[in-house]
Amino acid sequence: MRPYVTRRIGLRTCRLALVAVLALLVVVVPALVSGPALASASVELSATAKPATVVFPEKAVVAGVISVPGAAVSLLARPASGGEWMEQDSATAGAGGAFRFTVAPAVSTEYRVLYGEDGSAVAQADVTVRVRPRLTTQFPASLWLGGSVILRGSVRPAHPGGTVVIDRRVAGAWQPLLTVTLDAESRFATRWTPTRFGYYRLRARMDADAEHVAGVAAPERVIVNRPNAHRVPMRFAHYIVIVRHEYRLYYYEHGALVRRFEVALGRPGYRTPLGRFRIYGKRKPAGGALGSCAMFYRRKGGIAIHGTNQPGLIRLPAPRPFSHGCARMLNHQALWLYERVPVGTRVHNLR
């Protein structure tokens, strides 16, 4: 019996050993054959560009994370319109796998962040940074109807021979007004003669091309002033003109004459001052010789536009010099003006 038992135990031991060897081969052999490929496939790399669109010559940041801390990554670039990839920079990921590149493209550009081992690419991420040309303009703030001005501007990066459109905003929408061609220095200058007075909102625009997305300059307001006797610009909501030799006061709103008044002005030795001033203070009631109200516009001498306690001086066939430099009005007319002109209103006294 013992030899038989011994043989059974020996066979069982051999079988167990064989099973263990086979199991080990199942684990080890695939690892030896495909270990590097599996390791490569497990690398994760992501990247983003912020901002995704820049205005030349602004910069952008290409940043991301790789699942291999301390890995060396490369940055490649090519024009978004196509071309060969060219290496731009390299960096080492931090302990958390983060990396970062700063780029300053002149044209819309594709960027590739690449990680490789033994000369082969293991992981990559692609992003695109688009570039807008920078348009700057120099438009005049205002002009008079019937005149003309030069609208100037430039484009960067240079686009010699390129086309720029000058738009005008009408009823909330931009409409083409003029088309100009850039010179050899990528600048433009074109004459504009408006046919109507009013407020114009203008901008310069350049359409997209193979290397850049569309670019646009900041809008500018140009005022085309309506003609008036005293060349009062439309930009002023309130404006007073006193013509000394006429003994008259003119009140304008946005360049349009609203009312005209007969006034008494300064007598010899106290002539009404000439020049440009602003109303710095108001009083109602004013009382005494100041009448119903007063609007002070020159501190020296306390010169003002005010009512009167002697209306006959103004009701004469022709008002005469009588005051100490102020402009005297009939009380009800002074009150009408008082209610409309705020502190800061410009006063222009003419000879």
Same domain, yes or no, for 150 and 108? no
Same domain, yes or no, for 251 and 286? yes
Single residue among 225, 260, 278 that ends a domain in this structure? 225
How many independent structural domains does the chain possess?
3
The beta strands (E) that lie in 147-292 are given as 149-156, 163-170, 173-181, 187-192, 198-206, 215-216, 220-225, 239-243, 248-253, 256-262, 275-278, 281-283
Residue 18 lies in a domain: no
Dihedral of CA 4/6/9/13: which sign? negative
Question: Rounded to an integer, what distance in angstroms lies between the CA atom of residue 306 and that of residue 327?
Answer: 6
Same domain, yes or no, for 138 and 113? no
Same domain, yes or no, for 140 and 113? no
Dihedral of CA 181/187/191/194: which sign? positive
Give, for 312, the enclosing helix (H) or strand (E): helix 312-315
Question: Rounded to an integer, what distance in angstroms lies between the CA atom of residue 196 and that of residue 329?
Answer: 36
Peptide bond into 57 cis (omega under 30): yes
For residue 222, what are the β-bridge partners?
A: 200
The burial of 291, by beta-carbon neighbours within 10 Å (0-12 exposed, 13-18 middle, 19 or more buried), is given as buried
Residue 59 lies in a domain: yes
Residue 35 lies in a domain: no
Same domain, yes or no, for 277 and 289? yes
Residue 40 lies in a domain: no
Domain containing 246 — which CATH number?
2.40.440.10
Question: Rounded to an integer, what distance in angstroms lies between the CA atom of residue 314 and that of residue 321?
Answer: 10
DSSP 141-178: SEEETT--EEEEEEEES--TT-EEEEEEEETTEEEEEE
Q: Identify the domain containing residue 94 by its residue range.
A: 45-132
Question: Rounded to an integer, what distance in angstroms lies between the CA atom of residue 198 and that of residue 168?
Answer: 12
Same domain, yes or no, for 197 and 283? no
Residue 289 lies in a domain: yes
In one letter, which amino acid is 216? V
Same domain, yes or no, for 52 and 144? no
Say if residues 203 and 220 touch (Cβ distance below 8 Å): yes
Same domain, yes or no, for 126 and 188? no
At residue 192, the 3 state secondary structure works out as: strand
Same domain, yes or no, for 206 and 262? no
Single residue among 83, 103, 132 that ends a domain in this structure? 132
Residue linked to tokens 């009631």? 285
Residue 25 lies in a domain: no
What is the pLDDT tens value at each position of the chain, 351 positions in all? Answer: 444 334 443 444 435 444 343 444 433 334 333 333 334 458 999 999 999 999 999 999 999 999 999 999 999 999 999 999 999 999 999 999 999 999 999 999 999 999 998 768 899 999 999 999 999 999 999 999 999 999 999 999 999 999 999 999 999 999 999 999 999 999 999 999 999 999 999 999 999 999 999 999 999 999 999 999 999 999 999 999 999 999 999 999 999 999 999 999 999 999 999 999 999 999 999 999 999 999 999 999 999 999 999 998 888 777 778 899 999 999 999 999 999 999 999 999 999
Domain containing 198 — which CATH number?
2.60.40.10
Single residue among 132, 167, 195 that ends a domain in this structure? 132
Residue 140 lies in a domain: yes
Same domain, yes or no, for 249 and 333? yes
Residue 31 lies in a domain: no
Q: What are phi and psi of 344, to 5 degrees?
A: 105, -10
- In terms of Cα–Cα distance, which of 95, 90, 96 is closest to 62? 90
Same domain, yes or no, for 161 and 196? yes
Same domain, yes or no, for 250 and 339? yes
Q: What are phi and psi of 115, to 5 degrees?
A: -125, 130
Cα-based torsion angle of the residue sequence 331, 337, 340, 342 in order, rounded to the nearest 10 degrees: -100
Question: Rounded to an integer, what distance in angstroms lies between the CA atom of residue 177 and that of residue 154?
Answer: 17
Say if residues 192 and 151 touch (Cβ distance below 8 Å): yes
